[in-house]
């Protein structure tokens, strides 16, 4: 029997040394600038895909290949509006591939989903990091496809641009939570993330996949947007710290079974 990916290990347990409460992690006050990593840039673009369809516009990352089938990890909220419907994956060469959600993957309350597409074309697959030690100040890179471009007068949709709206961002980790926010978000970053980049990869300095981005800074919903995984509510003071970060779900490793 062919080996197929059945699930990703999503870590909602402690991932680093943090205060006992695992909640109030202070934001770094100074984020030093650094040059972009050309090695990571070279790795990132070919593994990053765009998801497009009716009510769908988001990003994803190729995590596995089995024969002619490719598996893409993205955020569940990117595709939830098209349950059971087919849509399109745009790969880095600009080609369109019909795809749909792979129902074998069940992440329960975590904001993740897997879609698959078939092609004879060859595409690289992300290397999933097994290192879950995240440190404040650690450099991270996020890629994806913003839904809009800022023009002098207004925002212009990028759907017709396909993969031309690809965006590579660099930043640093500014929060590490023991107790994640709802949907599994626990890594806060300084990276500037735009709507449409949800589902895109978070890569470390070696170009390894360490997370999936899914929340921009200053999320809509105020306090309600920053509930913790256990349903508890942070204080307004803590929310002030959390809302200045973009948030990602950490990915431990890809488990394969026969």
Distance of alpha carbon 72 from its chain centroid, rounded?
11
State the CB neighbour count (10 A cutoff) for residue 182. Answer: 16
Residue 221 vs residues 78, 178, 208, 226, 243: alpha-carbon distances, Å: 18, 23, 32, 8, 11
pLDDT, average across residues 109-120: 96
Given a contact cutoff of 8 angstroms between Cβ atoms, the answer to whether 167 and 144 are in contact is yes
Contacts (Cβ under 8 Å, ≥6 apart) of 38: none
- Cα separation, 176 vs 22, in Å, equals 8
More confident residue, 202 or 155: 202
- Cα separation, 258 vs 39, in Å, equals 33
pLDDT, average across residues 60-89: 91
Position 21 scores a pLDDT of 38
- Cα separation, 162 vs 164, in Å, equals 6
DSSP per residue over 203-225, as a string? Answer: E-TTS-EEEEEEE-SS-TTGGGG
Give residue-wise pLDDT tens across range 146-200. Answer: 998 777 667 777 788 889 999 999 999 999 999 999 999 999 999 999 999 999 9
- pTM, rounded to two decimals: 0.85
């Amino acid at each position: 029997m062919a080996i197929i990916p059945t699930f990703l290990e999503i870590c909602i347990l402690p991932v680093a040394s943090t205060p006992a409460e695992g909640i109030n992690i202070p934001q770094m006050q100074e984020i030093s600038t650094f040059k972009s990593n050309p090695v990571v840039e070279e790795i990132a673009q070919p593994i990053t895909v765009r998801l497009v369809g009716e009510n769908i516009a988001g990003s994803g990352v190729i995590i596995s290949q089995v024969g002619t089938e490719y598996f893409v990890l993205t955020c569940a909220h990117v595709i939830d509006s098209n349950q059971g419907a087919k849509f399109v994956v745009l790969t880095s060469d600009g080609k369109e591939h019909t795809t749909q959600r792979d129902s074998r993957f069940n992440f329960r309350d975590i904001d993740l989903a897997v879609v698959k597409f078939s092609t004879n074309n060859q595409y690289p697959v992300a290397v999933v990091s097994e290192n879950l030690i995240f440190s404040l100040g650690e450099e991270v890179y996020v890629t994806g496809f913003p839904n809009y471009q800022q023009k002098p007068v207004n925002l212009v949709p990028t759907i017709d641009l396909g993969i031309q709206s690809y965006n590579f961002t660099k930043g640093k980790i500014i929060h590490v939570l023991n107790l994640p926010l709802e949907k599994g978000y626990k890594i806060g970053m300084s990276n500037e993330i735009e709507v449409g980049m949800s589902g895109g990869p978070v890569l470390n300095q070696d170009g390894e996949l360490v997370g999936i981005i899914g929340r921009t800074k200053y999320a809509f919903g105020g306090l309600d947007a920053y509930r913790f995984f256990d349903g508890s509510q942070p204080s307004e003071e803590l929310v002030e710290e959390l809302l200045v970060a973009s948030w990602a779900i950490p990915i431990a490793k890809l488990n394969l079974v026969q």
